[in-house]
């Protein structure tokens, strides 16, 4: 994975304006995804960012780059907790929720749409999507917004501007470590 690839897929999280991002990496013969993840964690850990594989097949790996402090806050939201508990999660820690998400990705043929909660999406939009994925959508960006379309569109624009700015900075020689904001 190149630094440019990480910037293309994860700029808002690197910038500290989003909880997490998902991306897929194609697996080819001899490619050691775990070595790549260890290297990314060495670079980003001091910035408050973690990188973990959520699912790996012979063809691809689904990678989660996230900010644990943000995730803890997001998953403490009462509506987020209700959604996860309704789905059978044990919500005693964000780490346990991630472990259970990994198990669901591995064992269940259906995609666990509660994953939006792990990415910082509004719980009300995650709940609406899980109930009716196409009914009542107000706008679309990195998620389908069912409520507060003005706020969602503003967030989508902010994420897009961040990604454009980060692409420019990486092109001009900034490193991934320099781009990863340290947050409190």
In a domain? residue 74: yes
The pLDDT, as a whole number, for residue 29 is 75
| Token pair listed for 183 | 């947050």
Per residue in 139-181, pLDDT (tens digit) is 888 898 888 889 989 999 999 999 999 999 999 999 999 999 9
In a domain? residue 113: yes
In a domain? residue 180: no
In a domain? residue 35: yes
The total domain count for the chain is 1
* pTM, to two decimals: 0.93
Per residue in 2-32, pLDDT (tens digit) is 899 999 999 999 999 999 999 999 988 777 8
In a domain? residue 59: yes
Rounded CA-CA distance 4/166 in Å is 9
Per residue in 119-141, pLDDT (tens digit) is 999 999 999 999 888 888 888 88
% of the chain with per-residue pLDDT over 90: 76
The pLDDT, as a whole number, for residue 107 is 82
In a domain? residue 123: yes
Q: 127-133: which pairs have CB atoms within 8 A and are 24 or more residues apart?
A: 127/79, 127/83, 130/83
Rounded CA-CA distance 128/137 in Å is 9
In a domain? residue 24: yes
Lowest mean pLDDT among 65-69, 114-118, 139-143, 150-154: 139-143
DSSP per residue over the chain, as a string? --HHHHHHHHHHHHTTSSSEEEEEEE--TT--HHHHHHHHHHHHGGGT-EEEEEEE-SSEEEEEEE-HHHHHHHHTSHHHHHHHHHTT---S-HHHHHHHHHHHHHH-SS--GGGGGGGT--HHHHHHHHH-SSTT--EESSSEESS-HHHHHHHHHHHHHHHHHHHHHHHTT--HHHHS----
| Token pair listed for 60 | 């691809």
The pLDDT, as a whole number, for residue 184 is 64
The pLDDT, as a whole number, for residue 137 is 85
In a domain? residue 177: no
Domain that includes residue 71, residue range? 3-168
Mean pLDDT, rounded, for 101-125: 91
80, burial (CB in 10 Å: exposed 0-12, middle 13-18, buried 19+): buried
């Amino acid at each position: 994975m190149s630094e440019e690839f990480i910037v293309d897929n994860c700029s808002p999280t690197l910038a500290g304006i989003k909880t997490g991002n998902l991306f897929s990496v194609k697996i080819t013969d001899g490619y050691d995804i775990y070595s790549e993840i260890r290297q990314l964690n060495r670079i980003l850990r001091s910035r408050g960012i973690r990188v973990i594989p959520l699912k790996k097949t012979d063809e691809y790996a689904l990678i989660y780059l996230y900010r644990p402090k943000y995730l803890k806050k997001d998953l403490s939201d009462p509506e987020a907790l209700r959604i996860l508990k309704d789905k059978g999660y044990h919500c005693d820690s964000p780490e346990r929720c991630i472990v259970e998400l990994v198990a669901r990705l591995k064992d269940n043929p259906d995609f666990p749409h509660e994953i939006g909660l792990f990415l910082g999406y509004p719980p009300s939009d995650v709940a609406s999507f899980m109930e009716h994925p196409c009914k009542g959508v107000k706008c679309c960006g990195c998620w389908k917004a069912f409520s507060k379309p003005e706020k969602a569109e503003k967030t989508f624009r902010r994420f897009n501007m961040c990604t454009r700015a980060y692409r420019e900075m990486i092109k001009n020689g900034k490193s991934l470590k320099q781009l990863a904001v340290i947050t409190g």
